[in-house]
Chains A and B, each alone.
Chain A
Amino acid sequence: MQALNFLKPNRDNIKNYSIVGSALILISLIDVISNAFLKTNLTSFLPGSLTTLFPLILGLIGLNMMRIDYSGNKTLDLINKNINTNNFNALLTLLILFSIIKALPPSLSWMILDANISGDSKDACTGTGACWTYIKVWFRRFMYGMYPNEFHWRINTAFILVIALGFVGYFMKENLKKYLALYYVIIYPIIAYLVIYYLISGGSFGLQWVETGAWGGLSLTFIVSFFCLIFCFPLGMIFALGRRSNLPVIKYISICYIEFWRGVPLITVLFMSSVMFPMFLPEDFFMDKLVRVIIAITLFEAAYCAEVIRGGLQSLPRGQYDAAKSLGMGYWKMHIFVILPQALKLVIPGIANTFLALVKDTPLIFVVGLAELAGMLALAKTNPKWLGFAMEGYIFASIIFWIICYAMSKYSYNLEAKYKTER
């Protein structure tokens, strides 16, 4: 390191040093870029592994020549402060930059430049890149499953209606706002159920009956996670209150319930719903597989919901309970008018996280034979006409799920920040 000292700049020569340093970095970047994009090796005259190390060494020397505590030049100071604090950091910076540059051309050419999207059969895919034709042809199946093509508008309408009904709270008049909780906990689930039953299932009002076996794709993911969320929330609330109850029997029943469901993996719960649960039903009582799965996931998620709500209940100061009691309120009055409104507001971010986990868990219903997105992918992958496009399918599904989950996590993060300041 001592030998490198002559490469260290000081206040007087920083200008010249930074020019030489940037030139060295530029050369190293040009070398890597030409290597990655043009497949030419500018440094082929160097022996052995030196060719690969050459840009790294050059870049390191360049960054070393630019490193100074304070130079007065804004750009230089910004670079030094953020990516060039010491040799180790400089090395990592260069490694990250170089690997991004190296990874760009192959992924770009696979995903866009050499990819195909025209045509509607496997023969259209002649390039070496991705075959997006496959996604295009199967798009409706991935979204709606085996649901008949001509009825897809029913699913869309049902979703739009359910979402619109969900936003009612935003536009409600001020004097009706006190019924909001009642609306969301009891009325909304019932309306949503009716909408989805009559529109998507059909069977009346002149709509043709479509059995649940035909449902699938991303819309099924939404249906399952939607119902599980609206049902698991009230159930979770009951068990959260139960776990904090003074009555030992109720408390221990709640603890057993919560710890049981939190201790088993969802996949065994789904197995239970599909193979064990029918044994526990009355003889001639038939329950649809989708309904059984929704019940199972609801029971499972309710335990997680209960823990989140319990966290909210615990974080309320004792004074709130004491104040409510001193006003002569009973248990239910106290909880409905004082405790729950405050606690539920606190747990909204936590509930959003639970919902996020729920959405990420729904692909699991594929294991018991419900063809949501992952299931449709497995189906499409084994179709003899479309063999060999697993990569495209999974990348497509990952992108869709990533967008949904990322948006949700950002939203819950914003909520958290918002409620943190309000307290």
Chain B
Amino acid sequence: MNNIIKKFLPQILAILFVVLIFGFLTINAQTNMDNRGIDFGFGFLSQESSFDVQFSLIEYSGSDSYARAFLVGLLNTLLVSFISIIFCTILGVIIGVARLSSNYLIKNSAAWYVEFFRNIPLLLQIFFWYYAALRALPLPEKANAWFGVTYMTVKGYYIPSMVWENLNVFLYCGLAAIISIIVLRNYANNLRDTKGKQIPVFLYSIAILIVLPLLSFLFGGVSLEFELPQLKKLSKISYIYEGGISLPPELIALVLALSLYTSTFVAECVRAGIEGVSKGQKEAAASVGLTPNQVLKLVIMPQALRIIIPPTTNQYLNLTKNSSLAAAIAYPDLVLVFAGTALMQTGKAIEIVSITMLTYLTISLTIAAIMNWYNKKIEIKEK
């Protein structure tokens, strides 16, 4: 009897507590909304949004619905996260390896890089790039070309855009190349296991990856032209570039800040991962006659990656969540477009904030679930 009470009483109390809190909040919300004449519902999503978004990946205008505005915001969030993840990985790996260098100067420069960018709040870094550094760039008419065809100006970064013909043929060729590489790898593995023969898979793969798309240019009718940004006079003093793709300064500031900030954390993960592989592994691999390249590829990297990948994915997740700081410099991400402008117009605080939070929650939980599955898969199976 005593045991049953001990077991069930706390649980019942906990449920009661949660129900009471939620009930209290719901009743309050109900009365508040009744008093202000707001009704709860998600019908507003199909209404006309009638606001404009500065930068969008898909066609969008004021006559589109709020649901489409949400999609625009979500895509912008994913875009900035994706670009930043690529840059922060490249930087993070370089810095992480540099921290293990035997060169005193390199090691310490890398360490100071990490200490420097890690200890300044991200918001301040974004503000610094956006309000201070990028504002010092030249006006469009005074900009010098970078790499000949791109222009970094105070109004944004102008790059050439690609105009494809028969893009689908090119994509099919790329797909075919990837499939044939997978087949080749399987064949090579099979050959190695059964006959003990090695073939240079990596070189062949690169050759396939170059040759097949090249063939599509020669025979598939695919053509690629670059549309260059051209300086155009709007009025007496105002110039602008036309053609090509223009990346707004908000996006650049955000990508810079996010990738520099997150790269410090990625660097620490990489360093920990490489340090985590014991020296004996390397020596043992060398003593069975593997070449240094094979040691790195077959022994060190698989073990280091097992340590590196889970915390690094966590950092990618943090980066995606941190990209919501975009709202502070008016980059039209999910928070600004939906939880900012759309909320201001409709006044549907509860619905909109919940949708925004749920979206982020879904992204986080999905990646967490994939990570758990991956961890299970790569975990050392002990007999």
C-alpha gap A394/B135 in the complex (Å): 13
Q: Contact: B124 with A92, CB < 8 Å?
A: no
Residues in A with CB closer than 8 Å to B272 are none
Q: Contact: A402 with B119, CB < 8 Å?
A: yes
Stretch in B29-37, B53-61, B66-74, B300-308 with 4+ CB within 8 Å of A: B29-37
Q: Contact: A263 with B365, CB < 8 Å?
A: yes
A248 CB within 8 Å of chain B: yes
Of all chain A residues, the one with the shortest Cβ separation from B335 is: A267
C-alpha gap A250/B11 in the complex (Å): 6
Residues in B with CB closer than 8 Å to A259 are 365, 368
Residues in A with CB closer than 8 Å to B29 are 279-280
Which residue in B102, B124, B133 is a CB contact (below 8 Å) of A401? B124
Of all chain B residues, the one with the shortest Cβ separation from A267 is: B324
Chain A residues near B (Cβ < 8 Å): 81-83, 85, 89, 92-93, 96-97, 247-250, 253, 259-260, 262-269, 271-272, 275-276, 278-283, 359-364, 366-367, 374, 377-378, 381, 390-391, 394-395, 397-398, 401-402, 405-406, 409
Residues in A with CB closer than 8 Å to B33 are 279
A-B contact pairs, 25 of them (CB 8 A): A89-B102, A93-B106, A248-B11, A250-B10, A253-B18, A264-B361, A267-B324, A267-B335, A271-B343, A271-B356, A279-B32, A283-B31, A361-B121, A363-B121, A364-B123, A390-B132, A391-B132, A394-B124, A397-B124, A398-B124, A401-B121, A406-B115, A409-B115, A409-B118, A409-B119
User: Chain A at the B interface: mostly helix, strand, loop or mixed?
Assistant: helix
Q: Contact: A281 with B128, CB < 8 Å?
A: no
Q: Contact: B360 with A279, CB < 8 Å?
A: no
C-alpha gap A398/B122 in the complex (Å): 10
Q: Contact: B120 with A263, CB < 8 Å?
A: no
C-alpha gap A146/B133 in the complex (Å): 28
Residues in A with CB closer than 8 Å to B11 are 247-250
Total A-B pairs, Cβ < 8 A: 160
C-alpha gap A381/B124 in the complex (Å): 14
Residues in A with CB closer than 8 Å to B14 are 247, 249-250, 253
A268 touching B124 in the complex, CB below 8 Å, given contacts A82-B104, A92-B103, A247-B10? no
Instruction: List 20 additional contacts besides A82-B104, A278-B32; criterion CB under 8 Å.
Output: A93-B103, A93-B106, A96-B106, A249-B14, A253-B14, A265-B322, A265-B360, A266-B321, A271-B335, A276-B354, A281-B32, A363-B123, A367-B328, A377-B127, A390-B132, A390-B135, A391-B133, A398-B120, A401-B119, A401-B120
Residues in A with CB closer than 8 Å to B32 are 278-281, 283
C-alpha gap A318/B249 in the complex (Å): 55
B164 CB within 8 Å of chain A: no
Residues in B with CB closer than 8 Å to A248 are 11
C-alpha gap A390/B329 in the complex (Å): 14
Residues in A with CB closer than 8 Å to B128 are 391, 394-395, 398
B339 CB within 8 Å of chain A: yes
Of all chain A residues, the one with the shortest Cβ separation from B122 is: A360
A265 touching B365 in the complex, CB below 8 Å, given contacts A249-B11, A283-B35, A381-B131? no
A279 touching B350 in the complex, CB below 8 Å, given contacts A96-B106, A247-B10? yes
A275 touching B353 in the complex, CB below 8 Å, given contacts A264-B360, A282-B28? yes
C-alpha gap A247/B116 in the complex (Å): 45
Of all chain A residues, the one with the shortest Cβ separation from B365 is: A263
Which residue in B25, B124, B353, B368 is a CB contact (below 8 Å) of A272? B353
A271 touching B339 in the complex, CB below 8 Å, given contacts A82-B104, A276-B353, A363-B121? yes
C-alpha gap A253/B118 in the complex (Å): 34
Residues in B with CB closer than 8 Å to A249 are 11, 14-15
Contacts of B349-378 to chain A: CB distance below 8 A: 349-350, 353-354, 356-357, 360-361, 364-365, 368
B105 CB within 8 Å of chain A: yes
B75 CB within 8 Å of chain A: no
A374 touching B349 in the complex, CB below 8 Å, given contacts A249-B15, A268-B357, A279-B32? no
Contact with A along B113-151 (1 / 0, CB 8 A): 001101111111101100111011000000000000000
A263 touching B360 in the complex, CB below 8 Å, given contacts A390-B132, A402-B120? yes
A271 touching B353 in the complex, CB below 8 Å, given contacts A265-B360, A390-B132? yes
